[in-house]
């Protein structure tokens, strides 16, 4: 089954402060590169949606097997970036992850686990990880039948409202490594991720 990933790297990360969180160093490499490498190792095609700091994001991902789609309207919010990324997917793509660029502990194993669950439904159900108490987390793997809805998104809400309207077309997987859900919103999150990474590599 042909599965791709739309990696969202267009935002200005205003809550993070002056710097772009996706370019922050984590374990010797930019945060966005850590996420992109996890996707590369899972074996799926990647479309990276750029916006703010386009050239710096492209440089941070130099040498990786992926392609870029630039969102000219990136300031309008995540919805428009998802739309740009999904529109850039090939006709043969049967499912697509929407991956926020700030998930430092996402692994190829988690992505493969979600793909296996997705394939159990023959690529028909929206598949996503949940916490031990059933809360939805990212990334979300969307079947092709929802691509047109994703491609018409705009503004800042992203795809959450679309997900909430499709409760009868979902399948969730409890991923035991809940660190995969950790995201970076503010500088304290980055420091916590660095501490976690240092402990893991001791």
pLDDT in tens, 124-179: 999 999 888 888 899 999 999 999 999 999 877 778 888 888 778 888 887 767 78
Please give the average per-residue pLDDT across 109-117, as a whole number: 94
pLDDT at 16: 81
From CA 64, how far away is CA 42, in angstroms rounded?
A: 13
In the chain, what percentage of residues exceed pLDDT 90?
A: 68
Residue among 140, 131, 133, 136 at smallest CA distance from 179: 131
Per-residue pLDDT reduced to its tens digit, 70-98: 999 999 989 999 999 999 999 999 999 99
- Asked whether the beta carbons of 58 and 68 are under 8 A apart, the reply is yes
pLDDT of residue 200: 57
Q: Rounded to the nearest 5°, which phi and psi values hold at 152?
A: -105, 10
Domains of the chain from N-terminus onward: 3-201 (3.90.550.10)
Q: Please enumerate in sequence order all residues whose Cβ is within 8 A of that of 36, keeping only pairs 6 or more positions apart, or say none.
A: 7, 46, 48, 61, 64, 66
Q: Is 82 helix (H, G, I), strand (E, B) or coil?
A: helix
Closest CA to 10 of 83, 81, 107: 81
What's the CA gap between 149 and 117, in Å, rounded? 22
Which residues, other chains included, contact 202 with Cβ-Cβ below 8 Å and sequence gap of 6+? Answer: none
pTM score: 0.94
């Amino acid at each position: 089954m042909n599965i791709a990933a739309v990696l969202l790297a267009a935002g200005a990360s205003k809550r993070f402060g002056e710097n772009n969180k996706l370019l922050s160093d984590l374990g010797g490499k930019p945060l966005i590169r850590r996420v992109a490498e996890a996707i590369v190792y899972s074996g799926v095609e990647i479309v990276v949606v750029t916006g703010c700091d386009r050239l710096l994001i492209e440089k941070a991902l130099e040498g990786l097997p992926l392609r870029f789609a630039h969102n000219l309207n990136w300031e309008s919010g995540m919805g428009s970036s998802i739309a740009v990324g999904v529109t850039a997917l090939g006709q043969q793509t049967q499912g697509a992850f929407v991956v926020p660029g700030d998930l430092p502990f996402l692994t190829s194993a988690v992505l493969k686990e979600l793909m296996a669950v997705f394939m159990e439904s023959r690529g028909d159900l929206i598949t996503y990880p949940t916490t031990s108490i059933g809360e939805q987390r990212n990334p979300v793997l969307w079947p092709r039948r929802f691509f047109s809805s994703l491609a018409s998104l705009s503004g800042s809400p992203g795809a959450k409202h679309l997900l909430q309207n499709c409760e009868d077309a979902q399948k969730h997987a409890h991923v035991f490594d809940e660190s995969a859900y950790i995201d970076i919103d503010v500088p304290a999150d980055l420091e916590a991720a660095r501490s976690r990474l240092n402990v893991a590599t001791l």
